[in-house]
Amino acid sequence: MSFLDTATALRPTSSNVIPTASNDTNAEVTNETVSDEENVIPADNSNIGHRKRRPKPADLACTVVNYLKDRNENKVPKSAIDLLFRSYAETFKKYTPLTQARLKIDMAKLFAEAEIREIEQRETPSYRD
């Protein structure tokens, strides 16, 4: 690295750091440090005052929702029953609000009756020989 010796120049610096051997609190110490005069890079002031454009909260929310939706759709395998009820849901959305309300009541009745039958079958002792 001797090729750097010609490119360096000593520059005076000062410090008010107290040397450990001396008790003088206001002593000024002058040293010479090596710096490269030719490689001083001027500060670039062209970016001052410019900020990066931040995405709007609505854009971030849409991005997150889409990511989670895609991740969940890819993660869960779809069974035949999942696909059947998805099809029912798409058809259900096409009906008028009144028809949807009536179908909700009918479906609630069907599920409640099926649940009651299941409970009765579990609680009724079966006698087998």
Q: Which comes out higher in pLDDT, residue 26 or 109?
A: 109
Q: What b/e string do you get for 59-92 counting C-beta neighbours within 10 Å, with b at 16 or more?
A: eeeeeeeeeeeeeeeeeeeeeeeeeeeeeeeeee
Please tell me the distance from the alpha carbon of residue 10 to that of residue 33, in angstroms, as a whole number: 5
- Residue 129 located in a structural domain: no
Q: Could you report the per-residue pLDDT of 30-75, keeping only the tens digit for each?
A: 555 555 555 556 666 665 666 777 766 677 788 888 888 877 666 7
- Residue 73 located in a structural domain: no
Domains contained in the chain, number: 1
- Residue 14 located in a structural domain: no
Average pLDDT over residues 2-31: 66
- Residue 37 located in a structural domain: no
Range of the domain at 118: 79-122
Q: Which helix (H) or strand (E) element contains residue 57?
A: helix 57-75
